[in-house]
C-alpha cells in the first residue's frame, strides 16, 4: 500500500478531535492488523474511491468516545446511545474530509461515501478491499481509539 496515504489520516484525526472536542491526542506506533475484530466498542466506517479504492474505520473505546462527545456537546454523555453513534459517523466524515483535502495537495483525489457505524464488544470491521489493514492507535486522557486505513494493493 502507498504509505503516503496514511499520514493525512493521522493529521486529520488530530485536527478534527482537537478542534471539535478540544482534546489533546497522542499518536502511537502504526501496525499491520491481521484480523477483523474491532479494538473499540463503536466504529465509524467509510468507503473511499479515487486513485485507489479503500476504507477508513475509526474505532473508539466506550469511555473515550463518551469523553469526546461530552466535550463536543458541552454536556456529560453517560451511555452509548444514538447520540454517540451519530457523533461517530460525523467524526468519521470530518476525518475523511480533512484527509482528502491534504491528499488532494499531493495529487491524490478521492470521493467519500456516507459513513456507517457499528457498535458492540468485539464487533467486526469489514473493509471493502483486500489490501493490508494499517492500524494507528491514539490515546487521550479519556481513553484510547484506533483508526484503520485499508486500500487495495
Using CB under 8 A, list all residues that contact another protein: 15-16, 19-20, 69, 72-74, 82-83, 86-87, 89-90, 93-94, 96-98, 100-101, 104, 109, 112, 114
Q: How far is the CB of 152 from another protein (least distance, A)?
A: 21
User: What does each C-alpha distance from 115 to 56, 69, 71, 134 come to in angstroms?
Assistant: 9, 17, 22, 19
Query: What DSSP assignment string belongs to 10-55?
Result: HHHHHHHHHHHH----EE---EEE-S-B-SSSEEEEEEEEESS-EE
Instruction: Select 38 or 84, whichever has its Cβ closest to another protein.
Output: 84
Distance of closest approach, residue 86 Cβ to another protein, in angstroms: 5
Nearer to another protein, 50 or 137 (CB): 50
Q: Which residue has the cell 486513485?
A: 51
- Identity of the residue, 97 or 120, whose beta carbon is nearer to another protein in the bound complex: 97
Least separation in angstroms between residue 1's CB and another protein is 22
User: What is the nearest approach in angstroms of another protein to the Cβ of residue 78?
Assistant: 16
Among 47, 131, 46, 50, residue whose Cα is nearest residue 91: 46
The Cα-based distances of 72 to 17, 75, 147 in angstroms read 9, 8, 19
Q: Which is nearer to another protein, 44 or 143 (CB)?
A: 44
Amino acid at each position: 500500500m502507498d504509505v503516503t496515504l496514511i499520514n493525512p489520516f493521522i493529521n486529520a484525526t488530530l485536527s478534527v478531535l482537537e478542534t471539535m472536542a478540544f482534546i489533546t491526542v497522542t499518536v502511537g506506533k502504526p501496525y499491520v492488523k491481521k484480523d477483523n475484530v474491532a479494538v473499540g466498542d463503536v466504529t465509524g466506517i467509510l468507503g473511499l474511491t479515487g486513485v485507489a479504492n479503500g476504507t477508513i474505520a475509526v474505532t473508539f473505546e466506550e469511555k473515550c468516545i463518551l469523553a469526546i462527545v461530552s466535550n463536543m456537546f458541552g454536556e456529560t454523555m453517560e451511555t452509548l446511545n444514538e447520540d454517540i453513534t451519530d457523533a461517530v459517523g460525523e467524526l468519521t466524515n470530518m476525518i475523511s474530509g480533512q484527509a482528502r483535502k491534504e491528499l488532494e495537495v499531493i495529487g491524490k483525489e478521492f470521493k467519500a461515501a456516507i459513513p456507517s457505524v457499528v457498535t458492540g464488544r468485539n464487533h467486526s470491521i469489514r473493509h471493502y478491499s483486500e489490501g493490508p489493514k494499517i492500524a494507528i492507535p491514539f490515546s487521550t486522557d479519556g481513553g484510547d481509539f484506533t483508526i484503520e486505513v485499508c486500500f487495495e494493493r
